[in-house]
């Protein structure tokens, strides 16, 4: 196999084997990964079993994290309240 791809679109890995749901990859650079909400340092040459959808052919930056819906809703309410107060002060 030995295809060079990017784990999570950022970290360079070499694909060792492919199966239906998971691939075995070998790290070509050191990086930090989250496993069961714990940070794990992956060293060069270390092999890992990863989901196939986490490995990409091209390097890319993931899309920015969207704000929580509740925070956006509260921000809109605050803007409306400020607008109403400003209109009330003008009268």
Residue 47 pLDDT: 93
One digit per residue, pLDDT tens: the chain, 91 residues?
567 889 888 889 999 988 888 999 999 999 998 888 889 899 999 999 999 888 888 887 766 767 677 788 889 999 999 999 888 877 6
The domain limits of the chain are 3-90
H or E element, residue 74 = helix 69-90
Q: Which of 9, 3, 8 is nearest to 26 (CA)?
A: 3
Report pLDDT for 1: 57
Residue 54's pLDDT is 87
pLDDT score recorded for residue 62 = 65
Calpha distance 87→82 (Å, rounded): 9
Is 47 buried (19+), middle (13-18) or exposed (0-12) by CB count in 10 A? middle
């Amino acid at each position: 196999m030995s295809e060079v791809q990017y784990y999570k679109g950022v970290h360079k890995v070499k694909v060792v084997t492919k199966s239906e749901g998971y691939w075995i990859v070998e790290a070509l650079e050191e990086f930090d990964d989250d496993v069961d909400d714990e940070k794990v340092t992956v060293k060069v040459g270390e092999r890992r079993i990863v989901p196939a959808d986490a490995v990409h052919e091209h390097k890319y930056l993931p899309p920015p994290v969207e704000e929580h819906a509740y925070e956006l809703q509260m921000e809109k309410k605050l803007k409306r309240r400020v607008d109403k107060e400003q209109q009330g002060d003008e009268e």
